[in-house]
Amino acid sequence: MVEAFIFDLDGVITDTAHYHYLAWEKLGNEIGIKIDEEFNETLKGISRLQSLEKILILGNKENDFTNEEKEKMANYKNSYYVSLIENITFKDVLPGILELLEKIRLNNIKIGLASASKNAVKVLNNLELTKYFNFIADAAICKNSKPAPDIFLMAAKGLNVNPINCIGIEDASAGIDAINDAKMYSVGVGDREILNKAKFVVDSTEKLKFEALIKLFEVKN
């Protein structure tokens, strides 16, 4: 029996994955590192500082900055990102997500959030979706970020459910690894090749249908 649905945020509930990309691209331009969409895929689901490290390695600049300078760069990226998410509203909820949340709630199944973003609460509030979530895992106190299962396990614990009875939904390859490692049923949204370790993949959020997901979960058990 499905006890909970646990969602990633950026790229699943709203298209903030694109804003993260724009903000890293802006920082990259200023330090002379070109970030393209393909490289950006590898940043999805990864924490802010880890993303910065990856970008510096990409540009062979990993030894060029002090920790203090890296902190400043991460803050710079975040300020721009925060300015981009300032104006998001309920209209920015991706297609099908509201209907899915409504149905989950109607069926008395719990809903959790497992995002690596420290801006998650702000984004959910701007989208007016906070009321649907029974528990929001706090990325700020999560030790190991995705692909480690920690944030999904933290959400299951907060919801007081067994991870094996959870459906996790993600747009990042690192996130699918995290869900699988947490022993949850993994659902990917996006490119089938990139998300090839997911148990089930849809190419867009409007294809996330409550009844179909429940059926898939039951068949696997």
Query: Which of 162, 198, 194, 150 is closest to 177 using CA atoms?
Result: 198
First to last CA, the chain: 9
Q: Which of 8, 150, 171, 177 is catalytic?
A: 8
Tokens of 166: 């959870």
Q: Cβ closer to ligand G6P: 115 or 126?
A: 115
Q: Cβ closer to ligand G6P: 20 or 110?
A: 20
Name which of Mg ion, ligand G6P, none residue 117 binds, using a CB cut-off of 5 to 8 Å depending on partner kind: ligand G6P
* Residues binding ligand G6P (CB under 6 A): 10, 17, 20, 43-48, 51, 78, 115-119, 172
C-beta neighbour count of 13 within 10 angstroms = 28
Tokens of 212: 């179909």
Distance CA 18, CA 73 (A): 19
C-beta separation of 17 from 171 below 8 A = yes
Distance CA 170, CA 44 (A): 10
The yes-or-no answer on residue 8 being catalytic is: yes
The yes-or-no answer on residue 191 being catalytic is: no
Q: State the nearest-atom distance from the C-beta of 8 to ligand G6P, in Å.
A: 7
Q: Cβ closer to ligand G6P: 46 or 109?
A: 46
Q: State the nearest-atom distance from the C-beta of 190 to Mg ion, in Å.
A: 9
* Residues binding Mg ion (CB under 5 A): 8, 10-11, 171-172
Q: State the nearest-atom distance from the C-beta of 216 to Mg ion, in Å.
A: 21
Instruction: Give the residue numbers marked as catalytic.
Output: 8, 10
